[in-house]
Amino acid sequence: MDHHPPPFFKRGPSTLARFAFFAALSIVLMVGDIYQNYLSVLRQGVAVIVSPLQRLANAPSELAERVGGFFISQAFLQRENDRLQQQELQHAAQLQGYQATQTENAHLRKLLDARQQSAQTLLLADVLYAGRDPFSHKIIADKGTVHGIATGQPAVDDIGVIGQVTRAYPFSSEITLLTDKDQAIPVEILRNGMRAIAFGQGADGTLGLAFTPMNADVQTGDVVVTSGIEGIYPAGLPVAVVSKIERNAAVAFARIICTPSAGVGLHKQVLVIVGDRRKEFQTLAAPLLEPPAKPVIKGKVKRGGGIAR
Amino acid sequence: MALSLFIGLMLNLLPWSGIALLLRPDFVALILLFWSIREPRRMGLGVAWAMGLMIDVADGVLFGQNALAYSLAVYIALILHRRILLFSPWQQTFYALLLLLLLQFMTLLIRLATGAAFSGMSYFASSVTGALLWPLLTLLLQLPQKAEPKRDQI
């Protein structure tokens, strides 16, 4: 073997220079991500590479689950079947009442000459994993833009709202949960119809009703539902239950803490509402929804501080 | 090397949750640091940066946040690699802990700057578990390297 002298001068730029280059590039990316949405194309590109890897990483646990499901006991299945049948019966009874109400509602709406609310289409998505970022509450679902998911669509479970799609990639989507610090949802109190905005509180997994006056008629145990005012969440979906009220004279507003009613962050599957109402709303209010990557309601909060009153 | 990075990425993408997520070491960061200390010629900042971007997208966090943190940690590892290699395995573990803490601190700083709330000291737990994995990782990743010279001798 012949030996070449080691290439002394073939190192390229110094490590420091390269580090400075990459650091600057990262900072540019971060700033770009915060202030503009130019980078969504780049992000989607990387997402296309990463999402098959995600699926591959999830494969073993999925397989284990399937194998585990195969060996489930007969007794367990029987019990579950019984329970589900009973539930089905109850639901059927409720549904009959619902149908009657709906016809009546349609009739009344016609009388009032009001706009008809179109039915919602639901899309079942599997949760790939919970976001690993300890600072935010997000889940990644396995359906994306090719399945009809778009940014801003609400996500629900069998009880109520759990969050909103904040980023839609071609084959997966990111759902920000209600408990995330940046997430807001317009709500009303079912008992008296008082409107408010619920904000996620971050770490402790609760919601807070913001901008509610001191003397607001709120009681512990009140059920909080979506108001449907902004046209993104359908009206009347359960959101939370008021669990604690603090009225401190030093602050202008009452501090109202709610516990989410839906299993936020518990599920393997979520339903995304792929409705037509949203599109209708978007064409109406397109100029209001400038930053589509952010939770869409944010802009509304700033504009309509009076909503809570 | 590429294979180990790929496995690291896979381990990071596994569906961790709850307390396991809190204790989960950042495998990608560990493997990046390992290679930048052992093979500084073949391990570049570019690789670290690209891996960081992938993690950013997979986690759905601010674009470029992990990329910056990884580049910083790998940069320091590249500068110090001669010194670190002289130490005993346990001292190396300590160094790895420092580097991982630095990496997490960097991420924390970026998050705080963009308005997130600090979630408590348990956030740093994954650095400790990561550092504890260091000796094991050294053993594992050096296995193929040790096997080679023997084959030549035969």
| Confidence category of residue A84, pLDDT binned at 50, 70, 90 | very high
Averaged pLDDT for residues A79-96? 89
pLDDT value for A69 = 74
- Chain A residues in contact with B119 by the CB 8 A cut-off are 134-135, 202-203
Give the residue-averaged pLDDT of B116-135.
79
Compare all CA atoms of chain B with the CA of A29 and give the residue at the minimum distance.
Answer: B64
In chain B, which residues have their Cβ closer than 8 Å to the Cβ of A16? 75
CA pseudo-torsion sign A35, A38, A39, A41 = positive
What's chain A's Rg over C-alpha atoms? 24
Compute the nearest-CA separation of B29 from chain A (Å). 15
More confident of the two residues A205 and A286: A205
Cβ A256 vs Cβ A244: under 8 Å: yes
- Report the DSSP pairing between strands A184-189 and A173-177: unpaired
In tens, the pLDDT along A65-76 reads: 778 777 777 888
Most confident of A55-59, A241-245, B7-11: A241-245
Which of A8, A132, A266, A267 would best serve as a mutation to test chain B binding (most B beta carbons within 10 A)?
A132
Q: How far is CA A221 from CA A159, A162, A190, A259, B66, in A?
A: 17, 19, 11, 10, 42
Beta carbons of B66 and A29 less than 8 angstroms apart: no
Q: How confident is the model at residue A31 (pLDDT cuts 50, 70, 90)?
A: confident
State residue B17's pLDDT score: 62
In the prediction, which pLDDT does A297 show? 47
pLDDT at A3: 61
Indicate the residue type of A176.
Answer: T
Report, as an integer, the average pLDDT of A261-274: 77
Cβ <8 Å between A132 and B21: yes
B21 touches chain A (CB under 8 A): yes
**Cα–Cα separations (whole angstroms), residue A232 to A120, A285, B96:** 11, 11, 48
Which of A30, A129, A202 has the CB atom closest to B64's CB atom? Answer: A30
B9–chain A Cβ distance below 8 A for any pair: yes
Instruction: Give the rounded percent of residues in chain A with a pLDDT score beyond 70.
Output: 78
ipTM of the complex: 0.72
Whether A216 contacts A226, CB under 8 Å: no
* Nearest CB to B63; choose among A33, A136, A182: A33
Question: How confident is residue B57, by pLDDT bands cut at 50, 70 and 90?
Answer: confident
Contact call for residues B30 and B134 (beta carbons, < 8 A): yes
The distance of A298 to chain B (nearest Cα, Å) reads 15
The pair phi, psi for residue B93, each rounded to 5°, is: -60, -40
CB atoms within 10 A of CB A203: 16
Closest-CA residue of chain B to A11: B41
How many CB atoms within 10 Å of residue B94? 14
Task: Determine contact: A136 vs chain B, CB below 8 A.
Answer: yes
pLDDT over 50 (residue A12): yes
Work out the pLDDT band at B146, boundaries 50, 70, 90. low
Mean pLDDT score, A38-55: 76
Task: Reply yes or no on whether the pLDDT at B103 is more than 50.
Answer: yes
Q: What's the sign of the alpha-carbon dihedral B60, B63, B69, B71?
A: positive
Q: Highest mean pLDDT range out of A61-65, A100-104, A248-252, B22-26?
A: A100-104
Q: Which residue has the tokens 């990316």?
A: A29
Q: Do A135 and B117 touch (CB under 8 A)?
A: yes
| Among candidates B16, B65, B117 on the partner chain, residue whose Cβ is nearest the Cβ of A202 | B117
Answer whether B13 touches A (CB < 8 Å): yes
| Greater model confidence, A18 or A34 | A18
CB contact under 8 A, B60 and A135: no
Q: Does B25 touch chain A (CB under 8 A)?
A: no
pLDDT digit string, tens, across residues A145-198: 888 888 888 888 878 888 889 888 888 888 888 888 878 889 988 888 888 898
DSSP string, chain A: ---PPP-TT---S-HHHHHHHHHHHHHHHHHHHHH--TTHHHHHHHHHHHHHHHHHHHHHHHHHHHHHHHT--HHHHHHHHHHHHHHHHHHHHHHHHHHHHHHHHHHHHHHHTPPPPPPPPEEEEEEEEE---TTS-EEEES--GGGT--TT-EEE-SSSEEEEEEEE-SS-EEEEETTSTT-EEEEEETTT--EEEEEE-STT--EEEET-BTT----TT-EEEE--TTSSSPTT-EEEEEEEEE--TTSSB-EEEEEESS-TTT-SEEEEE--SHHHHHHHHHGGG---TTS-TTHHHHHHTGGGG-
- Which position has the higher pLDDT, A55 or B33? B33
CB contact under 8 A, B67 and A28: no
Calculate how close chain B gets to A29, using CA atoms only, in Å. 6
How far does the CA of residue A44 sit from the closest CA of chain B (Å)? 8
Residue B118 gets which letter from DSSP? P
Chain B contact for A106 (CB, 8 A cutoff): no
Comparing CB atoms, the residue among A30, A132, A140 nearest residue B65 is: A30
CA of A207 vs chain B CAs: smallest distance (Å): 15
Q: What is the pLDDT of residue A36?
A: 65
Q: What are phi and psi of A256, to 5 degrees?
A: -120, 120
Which pLDDT score, from 0 to 100, does residue A136 have? 74
Whole-angstrom distance, CA of residue A50 vs CA of residue A56: 10
Residue A141 has pLDDT above 80, yes or no: yes
pLDDT digits (tens, 9 = 90+) for A147-162: 888 888 888 887 888 8
What is the model's pLDDT at position B88?
84
- Whole-angstrom Cα distance, residue A263 to residue A205? 11
Q: Do A50 and B58 touch (CB under 8 A)?
A: yes
Report d(CA A274, CA A173) in Å as an integer: 13
Nearest chain B residue to A38, by CA: B63
Looking at the DSSP assignment, which residues form a beta bridge with residue A200?
A: A207
Question: Quick one: how far is CA A71 from the chain centroid?
Answer: 34
Q: In angstroms, rounded to a whole number, what is the distance separating the alpha carbons of residues A139 and A165?
A: 9
Q: CB–CB of B65/A30 below 8 Å? A: yes
pLDDT value of residue A85: 92
The confidence score (pLDDT) of residue A149 equals 87
Q: Is the pLDDT of residue A220 over 50?
A: yes
CB of A133 within 8 Å of a chain B CB? The answer is yes
Average pLDDT of chain B to the nearest whole number: 80
Q: What is the pLDDT of residue A299?
A: 43
Residue A287 pLDDT > 50, yes or no?
no
Q: Which residues of B touch A19 (CB under 8 A)?
A: 45, 71-72, 75
Model confidence at A37, pLDDT cuts 50, 70, 90, reads: low
Of B45, B56, B57, the CB nearest to A18: B45
